[in-house]
Structure 1
Amino acid sequence: MQPCGPSRRPADDWLHEIEFDGYRSQIHVSADGTRIFTGSGLNWTKRLTSIAAAWAGAGVDRAVVDGEIVVVVDSRTDFGALQADLAAGRQDRMLFCAFDLLHLDGHDLRKMPLRESKRLLRELIERTGLGPPIIYSDHMDDGVAMFAGAEKLNWEGIVSKRSDAPYRSGDRSDSWQKIKTSKRETFPIVGYVPAMGGIAALHVARREGKALRYVGKVGTGFTMKVSADLRRRLDALPAPKTKLFAKKHIKAVEPTLVAHVEYRDITADGYLRHPSFKGLAED
């Protein structure tokens, strides 16, 4: 897999960054103090006091910085760890990865080409001596090399951005392209966890020759409608001739249905990491 969109244009038209697995956010610095807002507009300043304090002490009068709140575990951003830390009120592992500068000291930079606003952002961070928990999100011009590094380091993927494009709110436009490193495969469904009106999770296996090897639970990717439909189909299946697990809360079924599953990788003990249901293999 390669970043197909940007490769069709000259290399200097695009820049390529790490895709972080966290919460998109903005830091607003003004005379009234430093505030942090999520992508949906929630004020998280009180939940992220260490990050707010770092910006407040940088000597910047007014600024708006776009970035992502993350927690890094084993050299990669980990959304589950971030959610757990937020729930526990823990901030020591949280970082703000800054990737664009929207306003600085009264100047609106949103119409400036991305490459220039990122240059100003880097200079701002270096000039003020900001360090962790503030991290500058660097980029590469070579998207193929960036993606190869993302695969090797097991990152979520990369984000390819038009370097000459002005700022646009959100991240879904022709100027931004996300290229995932996730894998996708089909797995027979060998069990499920019932829930009210649907299912809580699927349990899947990989076919190896004539045998099946259990590879874990898939607990995300279902809408309410999909969950209810899966429950109806799974309830109609008979019990298997051979069970692959002995957990009482899992209802084992004959592996008749096959699921498309997207996942990050395989753990050391052979289970899918961060799997997500993408649909049934109807054929």
Structure 2
Amino acid sequence: MGRRPWVPGVGGAGRGRGRRPAIVDGEVVAWREGRPDFGALQRRARLRRPEAVRRAAGAEPVTLVLFDVLVAGGRDVTHLTCEQRRRLLAGMLEPARSPCLALSEAVDGDGPGLYRAAQRAGLEGIVAKRRDSVYQPGRRSGDWLKVPHEHRRPVVIGGVAPGRHYGIGAFLVGAYDPQQPGLLTYLGDVGAGLDRGRLAELVGRLRPAARCPFHAVPSRHRAAFWVQPEVVCVVGYREVTADRRLRHPVFRGLDPAAAPQDCVVPWGGGEGPQR
């Protein structure tokens, strides 16, 4: 972490905690109104000028949230149980007392209740781990399960990014903003969840357009093929970022009963009302 200039506080937070090496597992989190904000983290990651990094550190602080340890005091501890490793990690963090470091909280029992609470809080989901599980670097295991919450929303297809299947790589989707009537507001690219059957069905429904139906799109889509904004599909996604983009959108199917004008732009940094 010390080599990343955009998180200088996190990079130095663990120094001086002993001379023997440790390897920990965690995630850098940026906060907005007490909740993780992936958009804020992306903004921090793009910063390179030292003065901009210093300003951002005060305006949008980040925390390294730790949830596991692989090496402690120069000793491999991956063979220990999850409970044992968490106790070890908590003991390692106690002397640090840095605002840039935190231990993720564990909740025993009632996984469904915790999942519902995460939904109500607007969080992405939960991770379930067996208490007696060992750490298996680089391997997927049924002992650890990520259970994400998926929002769903109808959106309008307004363009096609070139790709390998039927010439399609992803669909450019958007919705209408009542404060900016007329054109679509770009929400993101949807490529996940599309198989050959769905692509063939969509290709038959899309009609070409002479001009871009969005107010603006990222420069990487200069070679996009524009279509009439009349086909509505449903996408699943993790969250809406502060700049009103859908994070990890996945195609879930067409919505022939929905009218394009009823697809409205979501609020940024969470979930807004839907029609």
TM > 0.5 fold call: yes
Tell me what 2:251 maps to.
278
Q: Of the candidates 222, 233, 254, which is equivalent to residue 259 of structure 1?
A: 233
Task: Mark the CA change 1:172 to 1:184 in structure 2 (over 3 Å): closer, same or farther.
Answer: farther
Within the candidate set 131, 146, 157, 2:98 is matched to: 131
- Contact 1:66–1:99 (8 Å) recurs in 2: yes
TM-score normalised according to structure 1 size = 0.63
The answer to whether the Cα contact below 8 Å between 2:27 and 2:64 also exists between their aligned partners in 1 is yes
Per chain length, whose mean CA-contact separation is higher, i.e. which structure has more relative contact order (CA < 8 Å, sep 6+)?
1
- State the secondary structure of the residue aligned to 2:84: helix
Shift of 1:111: 0.4
CA contact (8 A) 2:26 2:65 kept: yes
Relative to 1, partners in 2 of residues 1:248 and 1:262: Cα closer, same or farther, differing over 3 Å? closer
Q: Are residues 50 and 205 of structure 1, via their aligned partners in 2, closer, same or farther at CA, if it must alter by over 3 Å?
A: closer
Residue of 86, 93, 110 corresponding to 2:78 = 110
The answer to whether the 8 A contact 2:175-2:187 is kept is no
Do 1:159 and 1:176's aligned partners in 2 also have CA atoms closer than 8 Å?
Answer: yes
Among 184, 189, 203, the residue aligned to 2:173: 203
* 1:251 Cα offset (Å): 4.2
Q: Among 18, 21, 40, which residue is 1:62 paired with?
A: 21
Distance change in 2, residues 1:168/1:274 (3 Å)? same
Say if 2:124 is the partner of 1:156: yes
Given the alignment, which residue of 72, 81, 91 partners 2:31? 72
Is the Cα contact below 8 Å between 2:28 and 2:64 reproduced in 1? Answer: yes
Q: Percent identity?
A: 27
Give structure 1 stretches of 5+ with no counterpart.
1-35, 37-43, 207-213, 240-244
Provide the aligned C-alpha RMSD in A: 4.0
Corresponding position of 2:263: none
Seen in structure 2, the aligned counterparts of structure 1 residues 116 and 174 have a Cα distance that, compared at 3 Å, is same
Matching residue of 1:23 = none
Gaps (5+ residues) in structure 2? 177-183, 218-224, 257-275
* Cα deviation, residue 266, structure 1: 7.1
Superposed CA deviations along residues 231-261 of structure 1, whole A, max 9, x for unmatched, are x82895166xxxxx773879452524x4330
